[in-house]
Amino acid sequence: MTPFLDMSRISKRFGGVHALRNVDLTLQTGEVHCLVGENGSGKSTLIKIISGVQAPEPGGRISIAGQDYPHLNPVRSTHCGIQVIYQDLSLFPNLTVAENIAIGQHLGGVRRVDWAAMSVIALNAMAKVGAEFDPDTKVAELPIAGRQLVAICRALAADAKLIIMDEPTASLTRHEVDALIALVSELKRAGMCIVFVSHRLDEVLEIAERVTVLRDGVKVGTFDADTIDSRKLSHLMTGHAFDYDIHPYRLAAAPVVLELQGLGRDGDYEDVDLTLRAGEILGLTGLLGSGRTELALSLFGMNPPDRGVILLDGQPVSLASNAEAIRKGIAYVPEDRLTLGLILDQSITSNITLTVLGRLAGRLGLITAGTRNGHVTQWVSRLGIKVSDPENPVKTLSGGNQQRVVLAKWMATNPRVLILDSPTVGVDISAKDGIYDIIRQLADAGVAVLLISDEIPEVLYHSHRVLVMRHGRLTLDVPSSQTSEPALRQAVNA
């Protein structure tokens, strides 16, 4: 049987840098194929070549459904049925579901808009994926998972035969990921070829039939999914082995720093009791919307509880604002580091010093460049942030380094309690490892850490104790040495 896409000896150079070197890739009709690799491994370049946005170096060969092309362009690639769903989905939030799905209708010269035809196209595409949106709803009003369905529908409406999804699960909850996986199997049965590009190795293995691994622009190999596990996969991607062990629980003697008694807030969470000791890493997991982020915000003074007591070193405190929380030694690194934690357009220096401007100020309340730079240099080296110039805007850094800047910003306040909300979303394996390292060092230095995450392995392997939250209540509180991934998964989803 002819493969849908067969490409060989694909190379791409940018200046002197080889982004891709003699890569071969074969995609079969009706196959789910995963493409994995760290940032800079050449994944995006490969996708751009398939979608025709970039041309490969001469000498490569691309064949689609048996027909050879020296190179593609976006129009030809679309014409051959290749559709890319980027991580940002490329939807138009201000337009209706129907318009987004049938956007192809809008292209071309001046024409009357045929709303009825668009509606039919949209409803047909939605029927294929079992979506039941009102086609006249604005996309902005849909949740993320819904928007993703719209993006898939748009690809289907454009007669896709190959859909490439870039990090499709990054912002989905577990339930939604399951639904997506079911949908992908459905599409596969209908003869569609699906390419997943993902960091989340568990999911990759759950969904894919074959996995292609890229490293530094070279193809490491294509593997059948059932011959490989996530440990081996991360080894192939990075060239390093990452083995995580469960941390022993040995902190019963340390003093309690933070204690919650019967904390509750209408509509968010109820009856929350917990203790957090110095040097302890406490993992908190639960579905999106289970109340975990709301609880974290309450501890940071941004979402005042209606009932209950917060004790800090045994003293009841009221945290009326985040400024007060910072003053009392509580730091919070938000879930969406890009929008909440950093001012992306400002320099690394300004971001790191933002929380401690008061302390750095000398006489007359002025901050000298020397004090500022000294402070920044110290944190840059302590956290191993890779920067060429601290005056560059934060947005020039990679995801992992951005996360470290956020950490530096809060660590600079010398917190006693550090709340980390999903600290590794969107960073790749090596960078993740660096962040886990930092968290461990902080705990060893006596900081009490509350680690909130969707990813069960993350809380299991990187905290001493795990809490599970469901529907606003803590349903499980267990030392990580006494539980397992399946047990936690059960507790979260039950």
Partner 1 sequence: MPDSLKAPSVKAALARFRRSHEFWLLAVILVLCAGLGAANPQFLTMQNLFDLLTSYAFVGILALGLLVVLIAGGIDISFTATASVAQYVALVIANAYGANWFSLFAMAIGTGVALGAVNALFVQKLRIPSIIVSVATLNIFYGLLIFVTGGKYIYSLPDWFATGIFWFEFDWGPTSSYGVNLQILILGIGFLVTWLLLNRTNIGRQVYAMGGNPDAAQRLGFHTFRLNMLVYCYMGAMAGAASLVQAQLAQSVAPTVLVGKELDVVAAVVLGGASLAGGVGTVLGTFLGLALLAVLQNGLILLGVSSYWSPLFVGLVILISVSVTAWSQRERRARRVRA
Binding site for partner 1 (CB under 8 A): 74-75, 86, 88, 90-95, 99, 103, 105-108, 110-113, 119, 123, 126-127, 132-136, 267
Residue with Cβ nearer partner 1 (95 or 478)? 95
Q: What are the helix (H) ranges across 12-96?
A: 43-50, 74-79
| 168 or 329: CB nearest partner 1 | 168
Of residues 75 and 252, the one with the C-beta less far from partner 1: 75
Question: Least Å distance between CB 118 and partner 1?
Answer: 9
6-11: Cβ within 8 A, 24+ apart: 6/61, 6/62, 6/63, 7/49, 7/50, 7/60, 7/61, 7/62, 7/63, 8/60, 8/61, 9/59, 9/60, 9/61, 10/46, 10/49, 10/56, 10/60, 10/62, 11/56, 11/57, 11/59, 11/60
**Tokens at 431, concatenated:** 């960078």
CB of 440 to partner 1, least distance (A): 35
CB of 131 to partner 1, least distance (A): 8
In terms of phi and psi (left: phi > 0; alpha: psi -120 to 50; beta: otherwise), the region of 463 is beta
Give the nearest distance from C-beta 90 to partner 1 in angstroms: 4
The 3-state DSSP class for residue 329 equals coil
Burial of 341 (0-12, 13-18, 19+ CB in 10 A): buried
CA nearest to 353, candidates 333, 377, 385:
377
For residue 184, the minimal CB distance to partner 1 (Å) is: 21
Residue closer to partner 1, measured from CB, 142 or 258: 142
Contacts of 137 (CB under 8 A, 6+ apart): 96, 97
Whichever of 162 and 257 has its CB closer to partner 1, that residue is 162
- Residues 6+ positions from 251 with CB-CB distance below 8 Å: 277, 279, 280, 464
At residue 42, the 3 state secondary structure works out as coil
Nearest CB to partner 1, comparing residues 87 and 481: 87
Minimum CB separation of residue 245 from partner 1 in Å reads 39
Choose between 119 and 198: whose C-beta lies nearer to partner 1. Answer: 119
CB atoms within 10 A of CB 178: 14
Nearest distance from residue 93's CB to partner 1, in Å? 6
291/390 with CB nearer partner 1: 291
Instruction: Please report how close the Cβ of residue 132 comes to partner 1 at its closest, in angstroms.
Output: 4
Q: Which is nearer to partner 1, 16 or 108 (CB)?
A: 108
Say if residues 142 and 92 touch (Cβ distance below 8 Å).
Answer: no
Six-digit token pair at 238?
Answer: 């990075």
- Closest by CA position to 403, among listed 338, 354, 329, 356: 338
- Residue 119 beta carbon to partner 1: minimum distance, rounded to whole angstroms: 7
